[in-house]
Structure formats: C-alpha cells, structure tokens
Amino acid sequence: MSDNSHDQAHEDHTGPVKTPKQMLMLSFASFVIPVFIIIGLVYYVTSANKTAPGGDTERAVAERIQKVGTVEIRDANRPMKAGQEVYKAQCAACHDAGAAGAPKFADAGAWAPRIKMGYDALLNSALKGKNAMGAQGGGDYSDLEIGRAVVYLTASAGGKFKEPEEPAAEKK
C-alpha cells in the first residue's frame, strides 16, 4: 500500500470528533442535556397533582364569596351566672393548676400584690388578657359575669371586692 492509501484508511477509521474542542463540547452536552431532561420529567410528574385554574372545589368558592360578618344569637334574658360557676367553666383550667404562671386559687401570697391593684385593674386584665392569659371578654360570658368570677377568685385569697350587680332594667 502506498502512503496515500494508508492515510485514506486512517481517515476512514476516525470518529466524528476531530479536535479537543469538539471532544469538550460533546462531553459537556452529554452531561447537560440529560440533566435538563431529568429536571423536566421531575417537574412534569410533581405538577400533575395541582388543581388547574378554574378547577376550584365548592368549598373554596364558598370561602371566597362568604359574607363579611356573621351574626351570633344569644339569649339576652338568660339568668346571670354566678362567679363560682363562671370560674369553674372559664378560669379553673389554669388557675386550679397554676398553668403558665397563673396564680393558683386560694394562694394568698400570689394574689396579695394583684388584689392591691384593685378590682378595676384585675377586671381589665381578665377581659383583655395579660401575660399568658388570653382575653376572656367577648366569649360565652358577659363582662359582668367575668367580673363576678374575678371577685370569686380573689375572695378565695383574701380579697374583699364587692360583687358587681346586674344593672337595673330601664323603666319605660
């Protein structure tokens, strides 16, 4: 064989990559393209469970179109609850156990500085909340009933506050 035919045979056996730059580009593409394919597949699989716009459930629609306010009907003529009854229902859970730093029922040492603050300050703390105690006003009991519970609770520790009375009905 002549040298010319040897060169021809040598060229026939080489691949599509002729330069180091082509080899680098081929290596880069063989890595990057599969990564993008995998990312695309993952996105496709995970997005399948999302609800399409406009495909809302009845509940979601009802929440969006609900009225701004609500009305709660209570019996204004129900008898006023006693302080002990309100205490047992609303206050005893924390004040019997001393939970979250609440002064315990009948603990004169813990209640003495609070009693010195006066009934109005204690009622205000009960209605609006203080420290870990949430606001008690606006719940199941009227402010007057919460006041009665304050008197009952402080009386157990030596307080001598007068129990608030029901306001007299206006005469017509």
pLDDT the model gives residue 56: 64
pLDDT the model gives residue 170: 46
pLDDT the model gives residue 82: 79
Residue by residue, DSSP assigns the chain as --HHHHHHHHHHT--S--SHHHHHHHHHHHHHHHHHHHHHHHHHHHGGGSPPTT---HHHHHHHT--S-------TTSPPPPHHHHIIIIIHHHHTTTGGGPPPTT-HHHHHHHHHH-HHHHHHHHHH-BTTBPP-TTSSS-HHHHHHHHHHHHHTTT--PPPPPPPPPPP-
pLDDT the model gives residue 33: 92
172 residues of the chain, pLDDT tens digit each: 555 555 555 556 677 778 888 888 888 888 999 999 999 999 888 876 666 665 667 777 777 787 777 777 777 677 777 777 877 877 877 888 777 778 888 877 888 888 888 888 878 788 787 877 877 776 777 788 888 888 888 887 777 777 777 766 544 4
Domains of the chain listed by start with CATH number: 1-71 (no CATH), 83-155 (1.10.760.10)
pLDDT the model gives residue 37: 94
Tell whether pTM > 0.85: no
Rounded CA separation 140/74 (Å):
9
Alpha-carbon dihedral sign for residues 141, 146, 148, 150: positive
